[in-house]
């Protein structure tokens, strides 16, 4: 293990949800819990068995650490391990604090040209990498991203990086769609009160064809329906957003057109990839951060996120260090 002085911690929708509702699905907050799982910091002490890190190293933290070498770990899908430790998922504490201890194998050294803030953004970026891999985005793909929150935006970034020829994105908010344009979306659709079929036909007319791939980042029933209608026959719909447990969808439409519906759960094996992309400047996540607060103003930061202002709110845990 390593002991870290925390630096930058991003606030996620799930953090806000636990704070407001005390549960997400089967994960129920029963005891006080530290929030935060999008984080970076500096090693101040390393355990005797740790060879790849030393005090002073700047690291990005992968929040999910398997507790045992089970069948999922053996096949490289450790994110599915049922006993995994995960920051800020009850009952496991997160890392929105000044000092934090974590498994050294899940702390990754940041190159000098990658900032702490970028290090913290690897966590949401990883969701995009994992989703686009599961979706099979490749050279020339036409992609529809549903929802322009932080996760929709990282999916735009990654899809373009992986060779997508055109990406169309939807949202209710004009300002969020503007941000999507900034990070590389080719087309945006501001949804008002269209039916799912109408949204699907707008997607098709903007792309000039139906997309082979849809990445659904809202979890909203109508959006999942639109995702099925929009996806080209033989294509893939990846469900990233989490909404109600039971959702009514046109499953027969998907079945008879051989639309593959895939889920994702967090990510695995994405930190090295993300660090390589950030270090080589192949991907720019900096526009995602719109607000910064010191740790003392955590409540204000959470309120800002809850109101849906900006995109990514970042907390600064080290009062002495002003580097990004």
Q: What is the mean pLDDT of residues 158-175?
A: 98
Token pair belonging to 51: 């060879």
Q: What does the alpha-carbon distance between residue 313 and residue 306 come to, in Å, rounded to a whole number?
A: 10
**pLDDT single digits (tens) 99-158:** 999 999 999 999 999 999 999 999 999 999 999 999 999 999 999 999 999 999 999 999
Report the pLDDT value the prediction gives residue 156, as an integer from 0 to 100.
Answer: 98
Q: What is the mean pLDDT of residues 32-41?
A: 98
Identify whether the C-beta of residue 101 lies closer than 8 Å to the C-beta of residue 2: yes
pLDDT over threshold 90, residue 319: no
**pLDDT single digits (tens) 197-254:** 999 999 999 999 999 999 999 999 999 999 999 999 999 999 999 999 999 999 999 9
Token pair belonging to 123: 């966590």
Identify whether the C-beta of residue 203 lies closer than 8 Å to the C-beta of residue 225: no
Q: What is the mean pLDDT of residues 299-308?
A: 95
Q: What does the alpha-carbon distance between residue 159 and residue 132 come to, in Å, rounded to a whole number?
A: 6
Among 269, 290, 282, smallest CA distance to 114 is for 282
Residue 324 pLDDT grade (very low, low, confident, very high; cuts 50, 70, 90): confident
Three-state DSSP state, 235: coil
Q: What is the DSSP letter of 89?
A: B
Domain ranges of the chain: 2-109+285-316, 131-263
Report the pLDDT value the prediction gives residue 207, as an integer from 0 to 100.
Answer: 98
Q: What does the alpha-carbon distance between residue 153 and residue 150 come to, in Å, rounded to a whole number?
A: 5
pLDDT over threshold 90, residue 9: yes
Query: Given the structure tokens 């995702």, which residue do they identify?
Result: 227
For residue 179, the number of C-alpha atoms closer than 13 Å in the C-beta half-sphere is 26
Judging by beta carbons within 10 Å of its beta carbon (0-12, 13-18, 19+), is residue 120 exposed, middle or buried? buried
Identify whether the C-beta of residue 107 lies closer than 8 Å to the C-beta of residue 4: yes
Report the pLDDT value the prediction gives residue 158, as an integer from 0 to 100.
Answer: 98
CATH architecture, range 131-263:
3-Layer(aba) Sandwich (3.40)
Q: Encode 228-248: b = buried (16+ Cβ within 10 Å), e = exposed.
A: bbbbbeebbbbbbbbeeeeee
Report the pLDDT value the prediction gives residue 149, as an integer from 0 to 100.
Answer: 96
Q: What is the mean pLDDT of residues 276-294?
A: 97
Residue 320 pLDDT grade (very low, low, confident, very high; cuts 50, 70, 90): confident
Mean pLDDT of the chain: 97
pLDDT over threshold 90, residue 289: yes
pLDDT over threshold 90, residue 96: yes
pLDDT over threshold 90, residue 34: yes
* Segments of the chain assigned E as strands: 2-10, 23-24, 27-28, 38-46, 58-61, 64-65, 85-86, 99-102, 107-109, 142-146, 166-171, 187-190, 213-216, 236-239, 260-263, 289-294, 312-316
What's the CATH fold of domain 2-109+285-316? Quinone Oxidoreductase; Chain A, domain 1 (3.90.180)
C-alpha 233: how far from chain center: 27
pLDDT over threshold 90, residue 84: yes
The per-type count for the chain, helices as H runs and strands as E runs, is: 10, 17
pLDDT over threshold 90, residue 322: no
- In degrees rounded to 5, what are phi and psi of residue 290? -115, -20
């Amino acid at each position: 293990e390593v002991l870290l002085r925390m630096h930058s911690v991003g606030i996620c929708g799930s953090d806000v949800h636990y704070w407001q509702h005390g549960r997400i699905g089967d994960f129920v907050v029963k005891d006080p819990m530290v929030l935060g799982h999008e984080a970076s910091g500096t090693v101040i002490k390393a355990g005797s068995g740790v060879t790849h890190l030393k005090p002073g190293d700047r690291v990005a933290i992968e929040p999910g650490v398997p507790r045992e070498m089970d069948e999922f770990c053996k096949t490289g899908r450790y994110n599915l391990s049922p006993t995994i430790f995960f920051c800020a998922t009850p009952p496991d504490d997160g890392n929105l604090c000044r000092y934090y201890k974590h498994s050294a194998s899940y702390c990754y050294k940041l190159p000098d040209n990658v900032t702490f803030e970028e290090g913290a953004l690897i966590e949401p970026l990883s969701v995009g990498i994992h989703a686009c891999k599961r979706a099979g985005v490749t050279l020339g793909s036409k992609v529809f991203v549903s929802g322009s929150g932080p996760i929709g935006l990282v999916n735009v970034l990654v899809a373009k990086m992986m060779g997508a020829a055109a990406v169309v994105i939807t949202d209710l908010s004009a300002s969020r769609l503007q941000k999507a344009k900034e990070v590389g979306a080719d087309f945006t659709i501001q949804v008002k009160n269209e039916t799912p079929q109408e949204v699907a036909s707008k997607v098709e007319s903007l792309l000039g064809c139906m997309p082979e791939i849809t990445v659904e980042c809202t979890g909203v029933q109508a959006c999942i329906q639109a995702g099925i209608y929009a996806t080209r026959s033989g294509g893939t719909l990846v469900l990233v957003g989490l909404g109600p447990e039971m959702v009514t969808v046109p499953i027969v439409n998907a079945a008879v057109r051989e639309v593959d519906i895939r889920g994702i759960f967090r990510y695995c094996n994405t930190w090295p990839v993300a660090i390589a992309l950030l270090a080589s400047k192949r991907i720019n996540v900096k526009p995602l951060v719109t607000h910064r607060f010191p740790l003392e103003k955590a409540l204000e930061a959470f309120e800002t996120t809850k109101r849906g202002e900006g995109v990514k709110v970042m907390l600064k845990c080290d009062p002495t260090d002003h580097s990004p």
